Structure 1
Amino acid sequence: MGIVSEEEAIDELQKLINQVEGPLKKTFERVHQGYLRENLSRFLKARDWNVSKAHTMLLDCLRWRVDSEIDSILSKPIVPSELYRDVRDSQLIGMSGYTREGLPVFAIGVGLSTFDKASVHYYVQSHIQINEYRDRVLLSSMSKKNGRPITTCVKVLDMTGLKLSALSQIKLVTIISTIDDLNYPEKTNTYYVVNAPYIFSACWKVVKPLLHERTTKKVHVLSGSGKDELLKIMDYTSLPHFCRRGSSGSSHHTQSVDCFSVDHPFHQQLYSYVKHHYETQGQGEPAKQGSFHVGFPEPGADGVQIVKTIESEMHNLENRNGLGKPVDDRTVSP
């Protein structure tokens, strides 16, 4: 008899995953943090509620976690601190606060991230550490505080400064997005795109048809800095700094903190957490410099096609960019 409901699909997947033992079982406990069914549903959603495909995806994720020792990544600080500062200065991501529903708000500086001050492995390590801290610490804490499972976040993508030269970073961005797609599926509730220049509009137009409808429904391109729309779901204090520009009537918030900065409370708390867990392992020596190497998964056929489409469109824009304002500087309306 076929699966007729989402609840039955979750039941079937739970029966299958209950058979795993040893390291796979242990790392799965880290993944679900006590919210088993909510996390099983993430993998089912990512595979259109096909139990067999979701089971394969989840097992592959657990094997990747064991092989790459992901459970210990929050006790592997990026040292020295100057290197961590370099990573933060060139991989712009931070957490600015929470929505009124309790979801963490992550800000990502897509346009101004340069990824040019450290090796690929450090950027991947940093990204996974933020994912794991989000899932093990932030979401777990907010779930307990609110008395209900909170298993997703929202992301605000700042396209300020996006240029044709971003094409050189597409390989690293693809590695990171593939890791997320395969091992952290359905962790983002909504993507809000702000400060979008013309180049984003042109690329989004050709990429959108290649994406699953489930994904495109999550993406909201907002006008300008998106402040007015974002204030419908979060308080002013949770707005990313790049969404507060041009504010009026909020003089006490004029000195907004750059949430990308290594000095922002989120990054200070994260780095302290990782250092503390390293030290409590009983390590007799200071942490040594060296990145945490993680296996890079190959992007699927859809991912490869998307990358090729973006590359093609950006080359087309470059070839057409000869009249009027530079293509990088034009703005776009949602």
Structure 2
Amino acid sequence: CQNVHQGHVTENLMRFLKARDWDPSKAHKMLVDCLNWRVQNEIDNILSKPIVPADLYRAVRDSQLIGLTGYSKEGLPVFAMGVGLSTFDKASVHYYVQSHIQINEYRDRIILPSASKKHGRPITTCIKVLDMTGLKLSALSQIKLLTIISSIDDLNYPEKTNTYFVVNAPYIFSACWKVVKPLLQERTRKKMQVLPGCGRDELLNCARDNSSFEKLKIMDYSSLPHFCKREGSGSSRHSENGSENCYSLDHPFHQELYHHIKQQARLREAVEPIKQGSFHVDFPELSPEEVDIAKTIEQLQLTKA
């Protein structure tokens, strides 16, 4: 339970209440289900289960594009996600799910507590910048895996993202967004902001708050994902060197994460042997909303085929 609330019990309970529209009984059930999921799948031990060998983990990193680029002006971690260029084709589904949960857990156990300590107040959410460079309808064939990951987040890591900024959106994103947007819950829609171009100017100078419409400075230039720093830069895995490309295993964030996991594995091995292989997690049933979205996107693929 400590790994869930990290000492911020009230803020944690509020997340589950908000995710269930402030219905106490539904929020309680959601929290109990989450705790049961963690116990049944040994989530507390997932940060001592490295994906090995390193070449396999590098392949996962090269095909599941995500990284930490810095922090917002308010101290929130900024995660970049290369939605359009993630192929999810270098390993089994279980490795991608394992990697995703490990990043979630590292964020919640290490990144957010460190940010909270630095700023002297609870920081329990992050910002995600979604790069749509290279998005094609054919890439949406991974919709099943994406909905599994989304469902894991919705059920077990609710309300952990403050805002989603969408950048480098091609026409196909606009077409998908028009049909998917009405299917999303209102609180999710409010978190989504589609920015023009690479989003650099908006993130640095004039992104607008949904409620006040006042100009805000979201982050400094140093925290911008590499694909936001110049028009047309995209999220190419080869456009930056390893230390600058936040997706790369050579980036400091991924080096720290992988080192932490291997260190925890060594500590655990001193107590009990660890079985190698992927960390199998029970996949949740998709919500009606997620089923509708998946079907809608599949239908869109067929009409454009």
What is residue 223 of structure 2 aligned with on the other side?
A: 238
Q: What is the Cα deviation at residue 216 of structure 1?
A: 0.3
Give the secondary-structure state (helix, strand or coil) at the position aligned to 2:18. helix
Q: What is the Cα deviation at residue 132 of structure 1?
A: 0.2
1:226 aligned to 2:199? yes
Match of 2:254 among 256, 267, 274: 267
Q: Measured at CA, do residues 255 and 124 of structure 1 come closer, stay the same or move farther in structure 2, by a change above 3 Å?
A: closer
Give the secondary-structure state (helix, strand or coil) at the position aligned to 2:68. strand
Give the secondary-structure state (helix, strand or coil) at the position aligned to 2:84. coil
Output the CA distance in 2 between the equivalents of 1:194 and 1:164: 17
Deviations 1:4-49 (A, max 9, x none): xxxxxxxxxxxxxxxxxxxxxxxx2210000001010000000000
The code of the aligned residue for 2:258 comes to Y
Deviations 1:187-207 (A, max 9, x none): 000000000011110110011
Output the CA distance in 2 between the equivalents of 1:125 and 1:259: 19
Give the secondary-structure state (helix, strand or coil) at the position aligned to 1:304. helix
What is residue 93 of structure 1 aligned with on the other side?
A: 66
Contact 2:248–2:254, Cα closer than 8 Å, also in 1: yes
| TM alignment of 1:154-303, pairs within 5 A | 154-231=127-204, 232-246=217-231, 257-283=244-270, 289-303=276-290
Q: What is the Cα deviation at residue 316 of structure 1?
A: 2.1
The code of the aligned residue for 2:195 comes to L
Contact 1:80–1:289, Cα closer than 8 Å, also in 2: no
Output the CA distance in 2 between the equivalents of 1:84 and 1:305: 33
Output the CA distance in 1 between the equivalents of 2:123 and 2:218: 16
Contact 2:138–2:301, Cα closer than 8 Å, also in 1: no
Output the CA distance in 1 between the equivalents of 2:292 and 2:159: 21
Output the CA distance in 1 between the equivalents of 2:275 and 2:51: 9
Output the CA distance in 2 between the equivalents of 1:196 and 1:144: 36
Q: What is the Cα deviation at residue 317 of structure 1?
A: 2.9
Sequence identity, in percent?
72
When normalised by structure 1's length, the TM-score is: 0.83
Give the secondary-structure state (helix, strand or coil) at the position aligned to 2:67. strand
When normalised by structure 2's length, the TM-score is: 0.90
What is residue 315 of structure 1 aligned with on the other side?
A: 302
Q: What is the Cα deviation at residue 185 of structure 1?
A: 0.4
Give the secondary-structure state (helix, strand or coil) at the position aligned to 1:116. coil
Q: What is the CA RMSD across the aligned residues, in angstroms? A: 1.7
Contact 1:155–1:191, Cα closer than 8 Å, also in 2: yes
Contact 1:124–1:176, Cα closer than 8 Å, also in 2: yes
Give the secondary-structure state (helix, strand or coil) at the position aligned to 2:268. coil
Output the CA distance in 2 between the equivalents of 1:174 and 1:212: 15
The code of the aligned residue for 1:244 comes to K
Output the CA distance in 1 between the equivalents of 2:272 and 2:34: 32
The code of the aligned residue for 1:140 comes to P
1:109 aligned to 2:96? no
What is residue 21 of structure 1 aligned with on the other side?
A: none
Give the secondary-structure state (helix, strand or coil) at the position aligned to 1:59. helix
Output the CA distance in 1 between the equivalents of 2:240 and 2:250: 14
Contact 1:151–1:187, Cα closer than 8 Å, also in 2: yes
Deviations 1:206-232 (A, max 9, x none): 111111111100000000000011112
Give the secondary-structure state (helix, strand or coil) at the position aligned to 2:283. coil
Deviations 1:140-179 (A, max 9, x none): 1111111100000000000000001112211110110000
What is residue 73 of structure 1 aligned with on the other side?
A: 46
Q: Which runs of 5+ in 1 are unaligned?
A: 1-27, 248-253, 319-334
Contact 2:75–2:119, Cα closer than 8 Å, also in 1: yes
What is residue 304 of structure 1 aligned with on the other side?
A: 291
Q: What is the Cα deviation at residue 58 of structure 1?
A: 0.5
Output the CA distance in 1 between the equivalents of 2:55 and 2:270: 21
What is residue 5 of structure 1 aligned with on the other side?
A: none
Contact 1:154–1:188, Cα closer than 8 Å, also in 2: yes
Contact 1:77–1:287, Cα closer than 8 Å, also in 2: no
The code of the aligned residue for 1:108 comes to M
The code of the aligned residue for 1:293 comes to H
What is residue 122 of structure 1 aligned with on the other side?
A: 95
| TM alignment of 1:128-147, pairs within 5 A | 128-147=101-120
Give the secondary-structure state (helix, strand or coil) at the position aligned to 1:148. coil
Give the secondary-structure state (helix, strand or coil) at the position aligned to 1:57. helix
Q: What is the Cα deviation at residue 293 of structure 1?
A: 0.6
Contact 1:79–1:288, Cα closer than 8 Å, also in 2: no
The code of the aligned residue for 2:51 comes to I
